[in-house]
Amino acid sequence: MADPDFCVLTLRLFKQYPSAMFCHIYRSNRKFDTYLYLIDKDDFSTIPEDLLRVFGPPEFSFSFDLTQERQLAKEDTCEVLENLQQQGYHLQLQDDILVEQMLALKSLN
């Protein structure tokens, strides 16, 4: 996990990101322990079609206020905030699977 002070300093020096974002979490009904973080609830317009196809119909899980100081169980808070700001979403994968592997699995489903 990233040091919260480093995260705050890095984000303030190099990029202008808000110190907090309200985000919405969706779980995949196809891929165990795989989640999408979104800024806007139920707005999947920023998610690539191939990714949504592999992810399956997103199932809303919960919403929370993500701050730079908050530690997430499996993700780096700085990376999540950066991805939300730049892409409009963040993908949390099962610990032992890579994005490339996940996309390659789409042909098997």
Q: What is the mean pLDDT of residues 53-59?
A: 94
Share of the chain above pLDDT 70, in %: 69
Per-residue confidence band for 18, with pLDDT thresholds at 50, 70 and 90: low
* Every domain of the chain and the residues it spans: 4-108
Residues in the chain: 109
* Options 3.40.1550.10, 3.40.50.10860, 3.10.510.20, 3.40.30.20; CATH of 4-108: 3.10.510.20
Confidence check: pLDDT of 81 > 70: yes
Q: Residue 14 has what pLDDT?
A: 44
Q: Residue 105 has what pLDDT?
A: 62
Are the CB atoms for 57 and 29 separated by under 8 Å?
A: yes
- Residue 104's contacts (CB-CB under 8 Å, 6 or more residues apart) are none
Confidence check: pLDDT of 79 > 70: yes
Q: What is the mean pLDDT of residues 35-48?
A: 94
